[in-house]
Amino acid sequence: MTPEVRERLDTFIKAKGLRRTAQRDAIVDEIFASEEHFTADELWERLRGAGQGTSRATLYRTLSLLTEANLLQEIDLGDGQTTYDPNFLDRPSHNHLVCVDCGKVIEFEDEHLEVLNDCITRRLGFRAVKQSLRIEACCDELRTKGRCPNLIEARLQGKRLPGKKR
Amino acid sequence: MTPEVRERLDTFIKAKGLRRTAQRDAIVDEIFASEEHFTADELWERLRGAGQGTSRATLYRTLSLLTEANLLQEIDLGDGQTTYDPNFLDRPSHNHLVCVDCGKVIEFEDEHLEVLNDCITRRLGFRAVKQSLRIEACCDELRTKGRCPNLIEARLQGKRLPGKKR
DNA sequence: GTTATTGCAAATGATTTGCACAAGG
DNA sequence: CCTTGTGCAAATCATTTGCAATAAC
């Protein structure tokens, strides 16, 4: 996937008269090395851990750049900070389900949903530009068996669990 | 509508061992005097204008309280601050369309959408707790006729137009 | 050589919090 | 009275910005 990202970014950068820099390369490489969602701070830590640390200012500026270039999309997981999603190139119209128990984020696509939203939008006299659906839900397994595999995993990994308010 | 709100709030307050105060009354009255969405700051100004000013601290604390009591719902219009929606009592499962040209927010309900989302959620092994769809779209009128009535109105009223970044 | 980019530190802006005082029940 | 609520000012937290130094092209 990185080659396509590289190309798109280069094109975008050239078209805008901007420059390719070591920092931007490092940030792009780190982001697209996986499909994981991340916050600015999480990415900053990852970069730091990989010996590719940059200033937060540069990181935020690059994240805006990548968003503008449509390589990244800002999503709202309802926790008061921006989460970035690197998977919209692969799956242009996916949405997110957030488990209220463990905070796990699941991506899903559904063509009916897309069509329906478009109908609704036209009926209202508009043309859809972008749509984002977030479903908050609880895991059947936790409800019926009393335990959620993701919850356990999340606790082990010390991940951020849901519950807004920074 | 205020009577139902009053009753629900009183019940909630009593159940939690909390107290009814002049400030809370003023805030609730101001909120439910209309169906308008608002940010904390906008409401603070409205209260101040009505000679019912409170401290921002109290306002934020009361907004949390009302949200917890399900009289209010926090929604994300993508502009970096929390918007509050007082219309979920009347229309429990509505969603929002935001005009990218003028920033106007339109509420809509669609039962098919609700059903579809529920199906999707179950298929993924979850039970939906809450879902929020935000459609960003542009107005047919602006696109075809070159002018958007809401845009004009918004400019006249000096309303906040879309364009994130606080 | 220009002009964009970086890093630092200071600024922002929304929201939260500690605390002493005021006020419901 | 006893405890919750309020206002103030200070604190947070994520994010942005001004500016001098640095590095692309």
- Count the domains in chain A: 2
- Do A135 and A122 lie in one domain? The reply is yes
Q: What percent of chain B has pLDDT over 70?
A: 89
pTM reported for the whole predicted model:
0.91
* pLDDT tens profile B77-96: 988 899 999 999 999 999 99
Final residue before a domain boundary, out of A64, A90, A116: A90
Determine the distance in angstroms separating the CA of B141 from the nearest CA of chain A, rounded to an integer. 8
pLDDT level of residue B114 (50, 70, 90 thresholds): very high
Q: Which of B77, B133, B147 to mutate to test the interface with A (most CBs of A within 10 A)?
A: B133
* pLDDT tens profile A107-130: 999 999 999 999 999 999 999 999
- Do A67 and A37 lie in one domain? The reply is yes
Note the CA–C1' distance, B14 to C14, in angstroms. Answer: 31
- Do B127 and B107 lie in one domain? The reply is yes
* pLDDT tens profile A40-87: 999 999 999 999 999 999 999 999 999 999 999 999 998 889 999 999
β-pairing, A73-76 vs A82-85, is antiparallel
- Do A97 and A147 lie in one domain? The reply is yes
Residue range A34-39: mean pLDDT, rounded: 96
pLDDT level of residue B166 (50, 70, 90 thresholds): very low
Structure tokens that stand for A161 in this block: 């669990």
Residue B162 confidence (pLDDT) above 70: no
Determine the distance in angstroms separating the CA of B128 from the nearest CA of chain A, rounded to an integer. 4
Q: Which domain holds residue B132?
A: 92-160
With an 8 Å Cβ cutoff, are B126 and A135 in contact? yes
Residue range B119-145: mean pLDDT, rounded: 91
DSSP chain A: -HHHHHHHHHHHHHHTT----HHHHHHHHHHTTS---EEHHHHHHHHHHTT----HHHHHHHHHHHHHTTSSEEEE-SSSSEEEE--TTTSTT-EEEEETTT--EEEE--HHHHHHHHHHHHHTTEEEEEEEEEEEEEEHHHHHHS--HHHHHHHHHTPPPS----
